[in-house]
Amino acid sequence: MNGASNQMDITATTPQLPSSADRMAGMDHAEVRYFTSYDHHGIHEEMLKDDVRTRSYRDAIYQNRHIFKDKVVLDVGCGTGILSMFAVRAGAKHVIGVDMSSIIEKARQIVAVNGMADKITLLQGKMEEVQLPFPKVDIIISEWMGYFLLYESMLDTVLYARDNYLVPDGKIFPDKATVYLAAIEDGEYKDDKIGFWDNVWGFNYSPMKDVALTEPLVDTVELKALVTDPCPVLTIDLYTVTTADLAFTVPFRLTAKRNDFIHAIIAWFDIDFTACHKKIRFSTGPHAKYTHWKQTVFYIREVLTIEENESVTGFLENKPNEKNKRDLDIKISYTFETEDETRAAQGSSLEVKWDCITKMQRNAHLRAFISDQARNVNFIGKKRGRKEPKRKGLQALGEMA
């Protein structure tokens, strides 16, 4: 390959650049909040301690040293520089790490104390605005995924780097992502989270219940809670996907594997490194080892009573929020058809507007992740004595919030 590694040499000198405050002066509040949430060590501790995540990237890079040898690599959203250093150890000629967060100042120190300052150039700024020391790169590496794959993700930034800097036949690590849906039984937890608002110290707090139903829950689901088989609903190929593709409506069919109740629909994703000889895959699903992404839970308003081999069909609609592209507007509509009309349901969801996670919420996820790892505890879907659901007719069932 006539790669970027043959085009230009650089020194390790980093020019004097504007401060973080100066860089963010022109950004709106949501963008500033997003980038500054990565300024603190806690979120990076969370990601580095995620064994599945970090080991998968390391293995994908180390087990394909022949691909990285003497190549120029771009690390999009480099954080503390762990992927950049993996690439250097795999034989990369030079790595360029780009990150808007001020954590890059610590990354420079980390790179230096590991003796890689001559091999790694770290640039603070937006990918769309920084000037790279190479006109093209051979490989792009990035850990861009968010909750539900796309929430707060920086996939559009990776696509910008691909379109503007990757050489023809260049490699992207990882290069494929697949989103799955399944339905779960989770009566007790739903009662605790949603039903709580029906009677709060003797008062009707139902307006809060509506709000609670529109907020996805990021938590861990036990495998035994799954009532249906998983259904792959979306596959993203990073070589061909466009930003326009990130607004989508896709069908699903969830087929029950036993008689049970359905209280929620959950989502997770798998990640593949396929553009290499030693292929690597990891999953964030309930069947796999715990990751900081956990699973995303969407509670439905009513309870479905389903029998083995019956199916819930519907559509998952996702689009970036018009005001803040890192937020998501999600809608799930479904139909449950059965010969028993007392159990049939057809409904359309209210839109779930998933707003940007605040620093406090992010720290709460961090504490939960580290605590869960220490205790090896799963929360969602434990069989704690089911309560018989109220069986209602077609018109009352099926509304998803």
Taking the C-alpha atoms of residue 166 and residue 311, their distance in angstroms, rounded to an integer, is 44
Assign 146 to helix, strand or coil: strand
- Return the bridge partners of 251, or none: 315
The residues, ordered by sequence, that sit 6+ positions from 374 with a Cβ below 8 Å of its Cβ are none
Q: From the candidates 31, 128, 152, 307, which is the catalytic residue?
A: 152
Taking the C-alpha atoms of residue 269 and residue 205, their distance in angstroms, rounded to an integer, is 35
Whether the CB-CB separation of 294 and 220 falls below 8 Å is answered with yes
Nearest to 68 by CA among 135, 1, 143, 155: 1
Written as one letter, the residue type at 37 is S
State in Å, rounded, how far the first CA of the chain is from the last one. 51
Taking the C-alpha atoms of residue 311 and residue 82, their distance in angstroms, rounded to an integer, is 44
The question of whether 128 is a catalytic residue gets the answer no
| Residue tagged 């020391």 (tokens) | 133
Q: From the candidates 46, 143, 185, 310, which is the catalytic residue?
A: 143
The question of whether 143 is a catalytic residue gets the answer yes
User: How big is the chain, counted in residues?
Assistant: 401
Question: Which tokens belong to 36?
Answer: 């500054």
Query: Which residues are catalytically annotated?
Result: 143, 152
